[in-house]
């Protein structure tokens, strides 16, 4: 039996494993589809515990969040609940929703059949995505459990800016003086203070933290064959954060005219049709609990996330590509250029975004 099958068999699966193959495009964990002769297929994931250092906490958050969402769906009388929230399978020996040999950490969830992820969406689907993410936050707003930060200060822009400066100082891979890197630093550094606005508002007591998804890339959403949103996946970063996280990160991936790693940076633009559709859906489902400060800063969130992602990709490039999976040596540099271009495009459109939100 190969290694993956041995690991899958440590979980309480129904049926016998017949095949295991790679799944998805995540940059952090390794994900596989497990095919069995039983009623379900499963998703097997090796959790990147260099990044998620506290796997107990990680799975605690995920179990609490999925349990709470399931309850809400039941209370609302929804049908097909197993397709609208993820189900994690316990390890047979420990009863926990992960298995570890002390070095590697693995988990299994039930694969939702006839579901699809998309790398791009049209305005109609953005509207549904907005509703879904707003609804996700609304459902978790009264969760009784305490969730921890699975990556402390994950979307803290002050921390991300500091990490970039530390990377520059250490210059571990000898890349800081490359002309491309210098050019990007010239574009990014002047906006640091402006982009750290959320942390200032938080310190002043004007901005709350709520339970957010914190990785609302387009491809972290499951759609059915008719294009309806089934549920939100990739729950590793469900934790207390600013709502800007969910609003901004979706648009970062969905409103970009090209993929986040496309080298055709001249084609990067921020799509207002996607923004408007997503904002409409989001405000419809999250509008009831958002404060005026949160609402008025949604255009800032749309700029913050390309900016933060550019800073994170560049930091990783300078560090010698230790965080994100790369497919070729300049991948993180290309990603940075792309996100910096998206940041500039979004900034141009802030006045339009503001007037749309006001309407
Ligand atoms: C990572 O795991 P994945 O690929 O969905 C990253 C996000 C970044 C994203 C950029 C834990 O998400 O924060 O926005 O890559 N997740 C983590 O594509 O760092
Ligand atoms: Mg993902």
Condensed to tens digits (0 to 9), the pLDDT of residues 142-198 reads: 999 999 999 999 999 999 999 999 999 999 999 999 999 999 999 999 999 999 999
pLDDT at site 193 = 97
Whole-Å CA distances, 38 to 83, 86, 208, 301, 339: 18, 18, 45, 44, 43
Q: Output the pTM of the full model.
A: 0.91
Q: Which atom of ligand 1 is nearest to the CA of 52?
A: 11
Ligand nearest to the CA of 326: 1
Distance 39 CA to ligand 1 centre (A): 31
Cβ proximity of 24 and 117 under 8 Å: yes
Q: In the chain, which ranges are continuous DSSP H helix? A: 3-8, 55-75, 123-140, 157-170, 179-188, 192-195, 197-203, 244-254, 272-286, 292-296, 298-319, 331-348, 350-358
Ligand 1 in contact with 293 (CB < 6 A)? Answer: no
- The finding on whether 220 has its CB within 6 A of some atom of ligand 1 is yes
Name the burial class of residue 23, with classes exposed (0-12), middle (13-18) and buried (19+) by CB atoms within 10 angstroms of its CB. Answer: middle
Structure-token pair, residue 158:
């002050």
* CATH code for the domain defined by 3-110: 3.30.200.20
DSSP letter for 11, please.
B
Instruction: Verify whether ligand 1 is closer than 6 Å to residue 58 (CB atom).
Output: no
Instruction: Pick from 24, 25, 28 the residue to mutate for probing ligand 1's pocket: most ligand atoms within 8 Å of its CB.
Output: 28
The answer to whether the CB of 252 is under 6 A from ligand 1 is no
**In the structure encoding, which two tokens stand for residue 312, read together?**
């994170």
Phi-psi region of 356 (alpha: psi -120 to 50; beta: other; left: phi over 0): alpha
Lowest-confidence region among 5-19, 33-47, 138-152: 138-152
- Token readout for 257 is 């005219």
Q: Within 13 Å, how many C-alpha atoms sit on residue 354's CB side?
A: 9
pLDDT, one tens digit per residue, over 301-314 is 999 999 999 999 99
Ligand nearest to the CA of 259: 1
pLDDT band at 241 (very low <50, low <70, confident <90, very high): very high
Average pLDDT, the chain: 95
Give the span between the Cα atoms of 353 and 283, in whole angstroms. Answer: 13
The pLDDT value recorded for residue 338 is 98
Taking 90 as the threshold, does the pLDDT of residue 92 lie above it?
A: yes
Q: Is the CB of 260 under 6 A from ligand 1?
A: yes
Do the first three CATH levels of 3-110 and 123-358 match, i.e. the same topology?
no
Residue 169 C-beta-side C-alpha neighbours within 13 Å: 6
Of 338, 332, 246, whose CA–CA distance to 285 is shortest? 246
Residue nearest to atom 9 of ligand 1 (CA): 27
Asked if residue 199 has its Cβ within 6 Å of ligand 1, the reply is no
Q: Whose CA is nearest to atom 15 of ligand 1?
A: 27
Q: Where are the domains of the chain?
A: 3-110, 123-358
Say how many Å lie between the CA of residue 278 and the centre of ligand 1: 20
**What is 123-358's CATH number?**
3.90.1200.10
201 by DSSP, 3-state: which?
Answer: helix
* Average pLDDT of the segment spanning 222-244: 92
Ligand 2 centre distance from Cα of residue 41 (Å): 19
């Amino acid at each position: 039996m190969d290694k993956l099958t041995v690991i899958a068999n440590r979980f309480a699966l129904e049926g016998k494993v017949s095949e295991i193959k790679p799944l998805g495009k995540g940059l952090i964990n390794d994900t596989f589809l497990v095919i069995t002769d039983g009623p379900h297929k499963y998703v097997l994931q090796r959790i990147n515990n260099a990044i998620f250092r506290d796997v107990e906490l990680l799975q605690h958050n995920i179990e609490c969040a999925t349990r709470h969402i399931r309850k809400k769906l039941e209370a609302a009388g929804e049908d097909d609940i197993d397709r609208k929230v993820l189900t994690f399978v316990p390890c047979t020996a420990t009863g926990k929703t992960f298995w570890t040999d002390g070095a590697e950490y693995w988990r299994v969830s039930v694969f939702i059949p006839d579901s699809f992820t998309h790398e791009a969406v049209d305005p109609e689907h953005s509207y549904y995505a907005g509703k879904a993410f707003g609804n996700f936050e609304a459902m978790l707003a009264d969760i009784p459990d305490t969730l921890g930060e699975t990556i402390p200060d994950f979307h803290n822009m002050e921390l991300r800016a500091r990490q970039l400066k530390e990377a520059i100082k250490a210059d571990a891979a000898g890349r800081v003086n490359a002309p491309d890197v210098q050019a990007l630093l010239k574009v990014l550094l002047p906006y640091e203070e402006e982009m750290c606005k959320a942390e200032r508002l938080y310190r002043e007591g004007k901005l709350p933290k709520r339970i957010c998804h914190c990785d609302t890339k387009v491809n972290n959403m499951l759609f059915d064959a008719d294009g309806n949103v089934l549920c939100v996946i990739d729950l590793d970063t469900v934790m207390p954060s600013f709502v800007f996280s969910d609003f901004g990160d979706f648009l970062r991936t969905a409103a970009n005219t090209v993929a986040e790693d496309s080298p055709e940076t001249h084609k990067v633009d921020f799509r207002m049709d996607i923004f408007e559709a997503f904002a409409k859906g989001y405000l419809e489902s999250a509008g009831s609990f958002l404060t005026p400060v949160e609402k008025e800063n949604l255009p800032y969130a749309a700029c913050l996330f390309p900016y933060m992602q550019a800073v994170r990709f560049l930091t990783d490039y300078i560090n010698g590509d230790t965080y994100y999976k790369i497919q070729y040596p300049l991948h993180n540099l290309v990603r940075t250029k792309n996100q910096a271009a998206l940041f500039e495009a979004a900034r141009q459109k802030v006045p339009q975004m503001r007037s749309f939100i006001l309407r």
